[in-house]
Amino acid sequence: MYLDHAATTPLRASAREAWLAAAEEVGNPSSLHAAGRRARAILEDARERIAAALGADAAEVILTSGGTEADNLAIKGLHWGRAAEDPARRDLVISAVEHHAVLDPARWLAERGDADLVELPVDPAGRIDAGALGGAVGATTSLVSVMWANNEVGTVQPVAAVVEAARAHGVPVHADAVQAVPYLDVHLHRSGLDALTVSAHKVGGPVGVGALLARRGLPLVPVAHGGGQQRSVRSGTLDAPGAAAFAAALDDAVAERDAERARLERLRARLVEGLRARVPEATVSGPADPAHRLPGIVHLVVPGARAESVLFLLDAVGIAASSGSACTAGLVQSSHVAMATGWSADDAACTVRLSLGRTSTDEDVAAVLDALPDAVARARAASGR
């Protein structure tokens, strides 16, 4: 029973086929000979399809090795680029619930003295206050980066209000849309965003492929230097099979988006209802309004039931779930997202994320509802509760 789709979701048949077909070609897309031109054609076709699926122009798609690299390029590249144009712009504004792929480069920039970091607080449901954002953005801001949807709790952020607040001060806005793409209408041009991050393996493409979509003319300082590919913004031999597989998965994910969202909302409702009855000590995180959260994520805080114990016990009966927070050497750290929404460090180590996706069924929901009460009771007993 796989309830960890927010971590990664199974490879689609269309993506596998596209990858295998493209991998039959030998050429490096930058080579001038016929084999290289064939690989280049596959790559550029994929780039155009990725752009079309996400409301961008092909020239605005910078292919990367995944969401982490795209976030790093956005945060470091745009902050350095904007600060180089105007040294007064040192303030980098992010939300307190960003994925580590945004949080860590932002903190790194601050630690080395390149930026003054502002981490916007969130409400108990995990949403930033767009009004507070207005007060945090001004003539000294280099960049605002607020994720479209959160990977742990599933909260959707008010992207339009963020864009509006930043635009008044000429500040570019980046959003990590990695979790949003499968379920929300992620469209670069309609959103008003300047840049957004996407990752293939969250839509049924391969791991290790992603993109930063960045509007033309943005001051984007490269992070990886080398052969000058992708107009020197991101050097490195281009991965034609990966791009082709990403495009195929994205086409399918976008075509299925509305139906999947409705289907998962129904499954989620059943899961939440069952949890309230069977694990009453659990608090379900995130906004109640479906318009403000992803359909597939159920995030729980169960004080006293440490995440690593619950996950181990679920795994022992064949259920794959996660805590939603980073694991180091097998130990779950207190989630910075849970703490930002008001939980203590102790309680923030007692989180479980059940994430539904394309292959999820009623049987998955029934299985986890059967297994969780016992897992929680045993985990609480182990910690003396």
Please give the positions annotated as active site: 327
Q: Residue 29 or 324: which CB sits closer to ligand PLP?
A: 324
What's the gap between Cα 199 and its chain centre? 8
CB of 151 to ligand PLP, least distance (A): 3
H-only helix segments in the chain? 13-23, 34-53, 67-72, 78-85, 100-111, 130-136, 159-167, 188-191, 240-278, 307-316, 336-340, 362-382
Quick one: which of 9, 22, 49, 68 contacts ligand PLP (CB under 6 A)? 68
Judged by CB under 6 A, does residue 199 bind ligand PLP? yes
- Burial track 268-292 (b if 16+ CB lie within 10 A, e otherwise): beebbebbeeebeebebbbbeeeeb
60 touches ligand PLP (CB under 6 A):
no
The region of 65-73, 121-129, 251-259, 290-298 touching ligand PLP under the rule CB under 6 A is 65-73
Asked if 77 touches ligand PLP (CB under 6 A), the answer is no
Residue choice 40, 79, 89, 99 for contact with ligand PLP (CB under 6 A): 99
Interface of this chain with ligand PLP, residues 275 to 304, rule: CB under 6 A = none
Query: How far is 369 from 273, CA to CA, in rounded Å?
Result: 10
Q: Which of 134, 141, 136, 135 is nearest to 89 (CA)?
A: 141
Candidates 18-26, 62-70, 104-112, 187-195: pick the segment binding ligand PLP (CB under 6 A). Answer: 62-70
**Closest residue to ligand PLP: CB criterion:** 67
* Residue from 75, 101, 162, 365 in contact with ligand PLP (CB under 6 A): 101
Which of 40/353 has CB closer to ligand PLP?
353
Question: Contact letters (x/-) for ligand PLP, 319-358, by CB under 6 A?
Answer: ----------------------------------------
Least distance to ligand PLP from the beta carbon of 66, Å? 3
Nearer to ligand PLP, 90 or 99 (CB): 99
CB of 353 to ligand PLP, least distance (A): 11
Letter for the amino acid at 77? G
Question: Interface mask (CB under 6 A) for ligand PLP, residues 139-158, using x and -?
Answer: --------x---x-------
Output the CA–CA distances (angstroms, integers) from residue 309 to 15, 152, 330, in the order listed: 35, 18, 11
Residue 316: CB partners within 8 Å, gap ≥ 6? Answer: none
Q: Which residues pair with 299 in a beta bridge?
A: 353
- Would you call 145 helix, strand, or coil by DSSP? strand
Query: What string of DSSP letters covers 170-239?
Result: T--EEEE-TTTTTTS---HHHHT-SEEEEEGGGTTS-TT-EEEEE-TT-----SS-SS-TGGGTS-S---
Decide if residue 179 touches ligand PLP (CB under 6 A).
yes
The answer to whether 210 contacts ligand PLP (rule: CB under 6 A) is: yes
Which secondary structure element, helix H or strand E, spans residue 97, and what is its range? none
Residues that bind ligand PLP (CB under 6 A): 66-68, 71, 99, 101, 147, 151, 176, 178-179, 199, 201, 210
